[in-house]
Structure 1
Amino acid sequence: MREDSSPDPLETRLAACLARLRAEQGWALETLAERTRISRATLSRLERGEASATAGMLGRLCAAYGRPLSWLMRTVEEAPAALVPPAAQTLWTDPETGFRRRSVSPPGPGLRGELLEGRLPPGACIDYARSPLPGLEHHLWLLEGRLGLTVEGVAHALGPGDCLRYRLHGASAFACPAEGPAARYLLAIIQP
C-alpha cells in the first residue's frame, strides 16, 4: 500500500492475478499453502490486496505455478511501448527486505529476454527455493557494492564490474554484506 493509504494499482493487479492463477489451477488455499509454505491467511490477504508480497513469497508462488517472476510482473504491468523511458519503468519494493526491482526492459510480445535493475540494501538477503522455470538464462552485472550470489549451492562473491552468467534450474540466494553500500546490478533474463 502507498503512504496515502490509497491502493497501489500495481498491487491491486497483482492481487487479482494471484487469485486468478489459483482459481485456474482449481486449488484451495490450503493446497497452495502446502505447496508454497505460505500460510493460508497470508495467501488470502495477498489475493484480497490487504498485504504486500515479499520477493521470497512471489518466488515461491511463481515456482508453485511454474512461471517465472518476470511473467507474473509482466502480467500485472501496463503493456510497455518499444521505448521505455525511466518514468515508465515499473519499480517494485520488497516490503520485508527493502529490495528494489526496476523493470528496465520488460518482456513483450515476441521477445524472450528482459532487463532488470536490482538494488539490495546492506545486510539484506533473498532466498529462492527453486527456479520457477528451469533453464532460465541469467546474466548478472554488478554495478555497485558487493553481492554474494549462491546458485544451486555454488557461492560466488561479486565485486563492481563482475558479471556472472548461468542457467538457473534450482535454488538461488542473493546477499549484500552488512558493511558497505547497497548492491546495485543489472540482470538480463532470457527464457529458454
Structure 2
Amino acid sequence: MEDAEPVPPDTDAGVNDRIARRVRELRTARGYSLDVLAARSGVSRSMISLIERAAASPTAVVLDKLATGLGVPLAGLFGGGREDAPVERLVRRARQPIWRDPESGYMRRNISPPGWPSPLHLVEVDFPPGARVAYEIGPRENVVHQQVWMLKGRIDLTLGDQLHELREGDCLAMRLDQPLIYSNPTRQSARYIVALCTEPAHPPGA
C-alpha cells in the first residue's frame, strides 16, 4: 500500500491569513491608504479591508487586480511568511502552501520558497474540467514574463485575441500585458507549471 502524500500545514484559512498579512505589508510598505489601493486596483475599499482581515475568500481575479495595484505578480501575494521567520532556500513539498480559487475551483501550489529574494516564482496548478478564469490584465509597473508548461491534460489559453491550445509537454512563453483567459474545455483535469519572472519597467527614454 502506497503512503499518502503529506497534507500541507496551510489550510484555506491559513493561506487566507498569509494573503491578508502579505497585502497589508505591501500596502504599508508603499504608503498606500485603502482608498489609494482601491483606486489603483479596481477592488473596492471594503473588499480590501475584508481581505486584509482574512474575513473574505477572494477569487483569483480579485487577487490579480490587487497584485497589479501593488506592483507584484499574483504569486507574490502567497509567498510572504512571518516577518520574524528566517528566509529559507529549501521548502519541502509538504510545506508548500496550497490555495483554491473559490470561484473556478482551480488549485495552485506555490513551489518557490517563501520570502526568498528572487524575481522568479514557480507555481503548480491543477485546473478542473470545464473551469474558466479570465484576468483583466493591463499595463503594469513591472514587466512580468510568464511561461506555462503543461504536465497533463489540455488548457486553452487566450492572450489578447490569440488562442493557444496547450497539451501535455507544450510550453508557452508570454509577457503579461494583455487580457488573459485560462479554460479547460475537456472532461479531465489539467495540470501545469507556471514560471514567472519580474523586472523593473524601463523609464521613458531609457
Q: Does 1:151 align with 2:159?
A: yes
TM-score w.r.t. the length of structure 1 is: 0.81
TM-score, scaled to structure 2 = 0.76
Displacement over 4 Å in runs of 4+: 76-80, 131-134
**What SS class does the counterpart of residue 103 from structure 2 fall into?**
coil
Deviations for 1:15-34, whole angstroms, at most 9, x for unmatched residues?
233234444433344x4444
| Paired amino acid for 2:177 | H
Match of 1:85 among 85, 89, 92: 92
What residue ranges of structure 1 are gaps of 5+ in the alignment? 1-5
| Structure 2 residue aligned with 1:140 | 148
Which structure 2 residue ranges, 5 or more long, are not aligned? 1-10, 200-206
With over 3 angstroms needed to count, the CA separation of the structure-2 counterparts of 1:181 and 1:22, relative to structure 1, is same
What residue number does 1:44 align with? Answer: 49
Contact 1:121 1:183 in 2 (8 A): yes
| Structure 2 residue 190 is the aligned partner of structure 1 residue 183 | yes
Task: Tell me the distance in 2 between the aligned counterparts of 1:40 and 1:11.
Answer: 18
Look up the SS of the partner of 2:76 in the other structure: helix
SS at match of 1:8: helix
The correspondence for 2:21, drawn from 16, 20, 24, is: 16
Q: Deviations over 1:73-93 (max 9, x none)?
A: 222477663332210111111
Q: Distance in 1 between matches of 2:143 and 2:107?
A: 24
CA deviations over 1:150-185 (Å, ceiling 9, x no partner): 1233211111221112222232111111x3211210
Q: Which amino acid aligns with 2:164?
A: H
- How many residues align? The count is 185
